[in-house]
Amino acid sequence: MGWAIALHGGAGDIPRTLPPERREPRLATLRRCLDLGAAALRAGRSALDVVELVVRELEDCPHFNAGKGSVLTSDGTVEMEASVMDGTDMRCGAVSGLSTVVNPISLARLVMDKTPHIYLAFDGAEAFARDQGVEIRDQSHFITEENIERLRNAKEANRIDYTQYNYTQPIQAPNDDDNSRTGTVGCVAVDASGGLASATSTGGLVNKMAGRVGDTPVIGAGTYANALCAVSTTGKGEDIIRHTVARDVVAVMEHRGLPLEEAAARVVAGVPRGSVGLVAVSAAGEVTMAYNTTGMFRACATEDGHSEVAIWPA
């Protein structure tokens, strides 16, 4: 069926009342990144190169919770995470606890390509970034006024993130209709040769404990790819880790013989409602974008001309 690509900008309780000024910049970025990735696949670039390229662009967009748009910990700091996996040979790389790296996804790929390891974190990952000469900035580069305000609201409401309504007491906080800003970003692709790859990047949860690691850098939870399919997830990290969501989609295909769409739907249905979304592609060029939340910022395109950019169910 040829090449295919899918990307996401986060899943959650995204209200249909989300105002255009909040909605349209995100959709425009998804369209631009989709076009960028599709053009790269048409030009013959590998799936691995394409997913890194697309996620770098999403990291550079302050409207999503990754890179420049990363949310803040309870200490008011940034701790970014990312991972990448090449389905051709199942090599993978992951990083977490980053506070100065402009494009965490590219550092994750360098971990994969340049070290004997899979996962580097915090001071060790930052030192590796400096050794590799990747672009770094002072932490203030990543701390936006919007995310300072979001942290303040979360602390006042005594909760973690806007997608988790775990108040000690009901509090009507400002901007509750804009919880979609918590969106992790990710991309999966299959190239013309049938090679598969997945990449995911995030800033974590608003008001999370410093040092918390979510699903994004955990291979098999937030990211997975092999010769059969590639998966990138988004949502509540603790639930995604518990259910090894990304790997389970592949496992259901492998061991139950189900097609991609049915396998993804079955896995998503097995996770607590409101917790997860994913994008996935198969070696045959199939695409699925499944979620059990109100909506998911998502986009996909295939060689046969199908293209979609959406938030909510049709």
Active site residues: 184
Task: Give the separation between CA 125 and CA 135, rounded to whole angstroms.
Answer: 13
Contact 54, 32 (CB under 8 A): no
Contact 65, 214 (CB under 8 A): no
Sequence-ordered list of residues with C-beta below 8 angstroms from that of 306, at least 6 positions apart, any chain: 287, 300
For the beta carbon of residue 156, count every other beta carbon within 10 angstroms.
Answer: 11
Sign of CA dihedral 126, 239, 164, 183: positive
- Which residues carry a binding-site annotation for substrate? 212-215, 234-237
HSE of 172, CA atoms in CB hemisphere, 13 A: 0
For the beta carbon of residue 305, count every other beta carbon within 10 angstroms.
Answer: 6
Q: Which tokens in the block code for residue 226?
A: 């092999």
Task: Give the separation between CA 103 and CA 68, rounded to whole angstroms.
Answer: 9
Task: Give the separation between CA 263 and CA 240, rounded to whole angstroms.
Answer: 16
